[in-house]
Structure 1
Amino acid sequence: MTPADPVFDTALSRAFGLRLPVVAGGLMWLADAEYVAACARAGILGFITAASFPDPKDLKAEIARCRDLAEGRPFGVNVSMLPKLVPGERTEEIFALIAEAGVSVVETSGRNPEPWLPMLKEAGITVLHKVPSVRYAVKAQAVGVDMVSIVGAECGGHPGMDLVGTFVNMALAEQRLSIPFLIGGGVGTGGQIVAALANGAAGVVIGTRLLVADEIPAHEGYKQALVAANERDTVLTMASVRNTIRTLRNETTEVVARLEREDPEIGIEALMPHVAGRIGRRAYETGDVSHGMLSAGQALGLTRARAPLAGIVAQLEREACAALARLRPTPCPSDRTYEVDA
């Protein structure tokens, strides 16, 4: 697929034939074959979330279904690993399944993917590793991943403990990285895509802005709640267990925040009855968003209406082209040769 503009011809778009240099990051329980294939057809890169399919047979079938729906366009699989290896974890089995299925790219997160890089590289798989700040991106570069995506404090889900904002991550990445990097966290407009490219990024990661796509397999009530929410309707919790998460503000987050205030050493066991993933999953099924940890970022302020995913991507493209038009009439003077030692 030809990029919408030569500016969008980046290391990311060239690697996967994208129209826009945009990655739709993996969404637990939501990034299924229909959604990911819609991303592929729209000219961006989507990822099936492996953790949404505990039975490897189901994951294999979902990959096959996505391949049929994607009409030959590339897509990937997200493999989110726990911070530490635990007994019974099947990460190696999942990677082997992905390689056997002929998937061309994986999005990894949660832990250093170094032990599996030889297997993935031998299979010709591109490894895009997701981190919450640049210091982790530097480590990922050192162990040999192909690309990194850095999601700032504004992101939905897990922004890490550093809570560095997207704009600062972007500038630091340009200075400290030599491999292609993507920027995420609060990204939801075409103008932000242009800003990221201007700061050296090969593309952006978008999550929250796409949660209202028609292809997202969630209840209408859930999507309408996101449309009605704004950038002030998220909250950070679970810092007490070093697993900070940004979610939609609701009754559950109020309870969790109160418990953490009352006992900073509360521990994950006491929080689990409130934060277990099955509770949040019910919101996707019923539309009741009052309970559960429902990952959402500050780009909620940019989710103004439900739409087909292709329509959202088309809007991003129009906004990006408008941003480029604002920049191009006045070329930047380039006759300054002195350097400032900061």
Structure 2
Amino acid sequence: MKTRITELFGIRYPIIQGGMMWVGVAEMAAAVSNAGGLGVLTGLTQPTPEALGAEIDRCRAMTDKPFGVNLTILPSANPPPYEAYLDVVLSKGVKILETAGNNPKEFIIKAKAAGVKIIHKCTSVRHALSAERNGVDAISIDGFECAGHPGEDDVGGLVLFAAAADKVKIPLVASGGIADGRGMAAALALGAEGVNMGTRFCATREAPIHQDIKEALVRAGERDTNLIFRTLHNTGRVLKNAVSDEVVALETRAGGCEFKDIHHLVAGARGRAALGSGEVDGGLVWASQAVGLIHDIPSCEALLERMAAECRMAIERQRMVFASR
């Protein structure tokens, strides 16, 4: 399957495992890369830049295929040392960087000078065009169906992918709500040249999360996610469970709420503990509407091979439909 994305990153299939907090570790990224996709380590999952360097070394020991590192840059009163994390990526010779959030020009210049290819993740066409002007090599654009933060525009992938493809000239990757080869075929038809998946990779054998969480993703339907932080203008999509239900209830009560009222529910440490213990109602479990399309827990290799076959079948099926008219 040859597209500008496979050519840019030197991968067999145009399928990217996006950065996921607590999930994007060496075992996950290496499994995806070995299966022919692009595995991605999540930089800020590691507590220090030095720890990220060690994780890059671990990943390199598990795969000789290309892999990348995600660095999500967000405004904060006490930000992590983003540039130190970037310096580790560069010093370790990683050649693919997935960025999200803010995308400072000076970071782009520094990374590009080291021969790094940058794919920037965003949620709107206007932000995609800004990143393109700033010199990134590819755009990953998130539809409203995605896990994590879909932005505040509420534009679904069916429209957003096509709208971005109409404007963006560099390679485009469709992200959000994609879990099988049918979704990949649709994304390619809309003008994307690859897909990015997070939730689907969480329900694989190699994902470093508890089996009970994986099985909860399989049981969930397309309506089993919650939108949280809506009233705080920082919308996030998570699996529907006792914790996210309580967050929604607090946000929608008379008088609303402030972040301090829900912090104890949404703390990252609590969500990380839930992923490790398998306690589905123990914390936030970030998940997209793609849960409605997840019916098993395959290996990454089996998943990617199946997706490629499904994608080819979907394209061929449409060709035959039109040929018969």
Judge same fold: TM > 0.5, yes or no.
yes
Q: Does 1:39 align with 2:58?
A: no
Alignment match of 1:185 (pick from 161, 176, 180): 176
Q: Does 1:66 align with 2:59?
A: yes
Q: What is the aligned partner in structure 1 of residue 72 from structure 2?
A: 80
Q: What is the aligned partner in structure 2 of residue 338 from structure 1?
A: none
Q: What root-mean-square deviation, in Å, do the aligned CA atoms of Structure 1 and Structure 2 show?
A: 1.5
Q: What is the aligned partner in structure 1 of residue 49 from structure 2?
A: 56
Q: What is the aligned partner in structure 1 of residue 18 from structure 2?
A: 25
| Residue deviations 1:12-45 (CA, integer Å, cap 9, x gap) | 1011222211111011101111110111111101
Q: What is the aligned partner in structure 2 of residue 337 from structure 1?
A: none
Query: What stretches of structure 1 move > 3 A for 4+ residues in a row?
Result: 85-88, 327-332
Amino acid at match of 2:6: S
| Residue deviations 1:90-125 (CA, integer Å, cap 9, x gap) | 111111110000001111111133231111001111
Task: Map 1:280-299; keep pairs closer than 5 Å.
Answer: 280-299=271-290
| Residue deviations 1:129-149 (CA, integer Å, cap 9, x gap) | 101121211111121111110
Checking the alignment, whether the CA contact within 8 Å between 1:151 and 1:166 is kept in structure 2 is yes
Q: Match of 2:60, SS?
A: helix
Q: What is the aligned partner in structure 1 of residue 106 from structure 2?
A: 115
Shift of 1:266: 2.3
Amino acid at match of 2:194: G
CA distance in 2, matches of 1:264, 1:93: 42
Amino acid at match of 2:193: A
Checking the alignment, whether the CA contact within 8 Å between 2:250 and 2:256 is kept in structure 1 is no
Checking the alignment, whether the CA contact within 8 Å between 2:151 and 2:234 is kept in structure 1 is yes
Checking the alignment, whether the CA contact within 8 Å between 2:121 and 2:140 is kept in structure 1 is yes
CA distance in 1, matches of 2:236, 2:71: 18
Alignment match of 1:235 (pick from 207, 216, 226): 226
Shift of 1:265: 5.3
Checking the alignment, whether the CA contact within 8 Å between 1:141 and 1:179 is kept in structure 2 is yes
Checking the alignment, whether the CA contact within 8 Å between 1:240 and 1:264 is kept in structure 2 is no
Residues 257 and 73 of structure 1, relative CA distance in 2, 3 Å threshold: same
Q: What is the aligned partner in structure 1 of residue 159 from structure 2?
A: 168
Residues 234 and 13 of structure 1, relative CA distance in 2, 3 Å threshold: same
Q: What is the aligned partner in structure 2 of residue 129 from structure 1?
A: 120
Checking the alignment, whether the CA contact within 8 Å between 1:208 and 1:296 is kept in structure 2 is yes
Amino acid at match of 1:77: V
| Residue deviations 1:182-215 (CA, integer Å, cap 9, x gap) | 1111011112212222222121111111111111
Shift of 1:325: 1.8
Alignment match of 1:277 (pick from 240, 263, 268): 268
Shift of 1:85: 5.2
Q: Match of 2:231, SS?
A: helix
CA distance in 2, matches of 1:89, 1:263: 36
Identity of aligned residues (%): 38
Structure 1 length-normalised TM: 0.91
Q: Match of 1:48, SS?
A: strand
Q: Does 1:89 align with 2:86?
A: no
Amino acid at match of 1:183: A
Checking the alignment, whether the CA contact within 8 Å between 1:152 and 1:159 is kept in structure 2 is yes
Amino acid at match of 2:235: T
Amino acid at match of 2:160: N
Q: What is the aligned partner in structure 1 of residue 131 from structure 2?
A: 140
Amino acid at match of 1:41: N
CA distance in 2, matches of 1:235, 1:42: 31
| Residue deviations 1:39-96 (CA, integer Å, cap 9, x gap) | 11111011100111012222111101111111x21000001111x2544531111111
CA distance in 1, matches of 2:260, 2:306: 43
Structure 2 length-normalised TM: 0.95
Amino acid at match of 1:27: M
Amino acid at match of 2:293: L
CA distance in 2, matches of 1:330, 1:221: 41
Checking the alignment, whether the CA contact within 8 Å between 1:150 and 1:181 is kept in structure 2 is yes
Task: Map 1:198-213; keep pairs closer than 5 Å.
Answer: 198-213=189-204
Shift of 1:331: 6.9
Checking the alignment, whether the CA contact within 8 Å between 1:235 and 1:246 is kept in structure 2 is yes
Residues 292 and 263 of structure 1, relative CA distance in 2, 3 Å threshold: farther
| Residue deviations 1:154-190 (CA, integer Å, cap 9, x gap) | 0111111111100111111121111111111101111
Residues 323 and 221 of structure 1, relative CA distance in 2, 3 Å threshold: same
CA distance in 1, matches of 2:315, 2:250: 48
